[in-house]
Amino acid sequence: MKSTSIAAYGATALSLLQSRDPAGFEKLFQYLTPSSLRTLQDCLCEALDTKTTSGTHPGWQSLSSTEKTQCCNEVVAEAVLRRLVFKCLRKYSTCSTPQTMEEALKHHTLPKSLKEELVERYGGDPPNTWYDALQRLKVIADNNADQRNPGLWELVLDHPMTAYVPVQCQSCGLVVPDDLNSDLTDEQVGLREEEPTDEEAPLVRSGWFRGPRPHAKVFVLTCTECGVVSRWFRSRDPYVILNAQKWGRLCGEQEDLRLDLANYLDSHPNVLASGLGSYLERVQ
């Protein structure tokens, strides 16, 4: 619908918005919610109306209100897609080395209940670590090589090692729903934010949990059921992500872990496409 010249002018207007308020602009893109996208669209349309009043781009002024909205939608959509691709490429650039990944897989001792679950599901001896569990998957994949059964990567994607784990009390397992629209405040579910300790600081990252969390914080949960206090935080470090002691593993950590495992296994799934698809699912 929009001409090439209007499209280019829209992109320029978007850049001007960023230069005026870099922090506010980045915040709109950080969490792609319907509200932030509407705000971005409204700001862009307003900027274009202001910039073209003097006749800088008469083609814009000749558009109807509906056409202007559609034009802004297209400019914003293109910007969002560029951001998503950049995030995927940046995620790939932070991939852990195979050596780091193997050390992380061997680091945590699995709890008894998880060992029993894995034996029941995959057979073999009880795995002591995630590394042992991965070796079992390799055996199964080798045995399935000439059959129409899941290969190694499919087994990894369906394994508790890469599964989503909700944030929960690390004693009794009471789950804290990751729900932006929850009627319960952080305080009501026993949750508060704290600054990370010196030891935690290099491991903590910002990220979404019950809404946007723009700063790297540690979440302290005082369980409303058993009273035990747990500490949890979002992280890119595989040592943290692979913690098997009721440690929350949210969608972003799942993506990071799968990328690290793909690199470690020298598998080559279409990580970029799957990562982009995952992001798009979350913003729809």
Q: Please give the full DSSP string across 98-156, using - where no structure is assigned.
A: HHHHHHHHHHSPPPHHHHHHHHHHH-SSPPSSHHHHHHHHHHHHHHTTTTTS--HHHHH
SS3 (DSSP) at 165: strand
**Which pLDDT value is given to residue 279?**
38
pTM of the model: 0.71
CB 101 within 8 A of CB 261: yes
Give the angle subtended at the CA of 217 by the CAs of 84 and 102, to the nearest 5°.
Answer: 70
pLDDT of residue 282: 43
Burial letters 204-232, b for 16+ CB under 10 A, else e: bbebbbbeebeebbbbebebeeeeeebeb
Contact, 237 vs 252, CB < 8 A? no
Which sign, positive or negative, has the C-alpha torsion 236, 85, 166, 155?
Answer: negative
Strand order, beta sheet including 229-232: 191-194, 218-222, 229-232
* DSSP state string for 53-91: TTSS-HHHHTS-HHHHHHHHHHHHHHHHHHHHHHHHHHH
pLDDT at 270: 43
Q: CA torsion 208→214→218→220, rounded to 10°?
A: -70
Distance separating alpha carbons of residues 273 and 194, to the nearest angstrom: 36
Please, are residues 246 and 169 in contact by the beta-carbon 8 Å criterion? Answer: yes
CA distance 277 to 282: 9
Instruction: List the pLDDT tens digit at each of the 284 positions of the chain.
Output: 445 566 676 777 778 777 888 777 777 777 677 888 888 888 887 777 775 544 455 566 677 778 777 778 888 888 888 888 877 777 777 889 999 999 999 999 999 999 999 999 999 999 999 999 999 999 999 887 666 667 899 999 999 999 999 999 999 999 998 988 888 999 999 999 999 999 999 999 998 899 888 899 999 999 999 999 999 999 999 999 999 999 999 999 999 999 999 999 984 444 434 443 443 444 34
Q: Tokens standing for 163?
A: 């599964």
Please check whether residue 210 is in contact with residue 134, taking contact to mean a CB–CB distance below 8 angstroms: no
Rounded-to-integer distance, Cα 247 and Cα 113, Å: 15
Residue 165 β-bridge partners: 249
Q: Where exactly are the structural domains of the chain?
A: 4-93, 96-161+266-284, 165-249
Dist. CA 157–CA 163, nearest whole Å: 8
In the block, tokens 């042992």 appear at 132
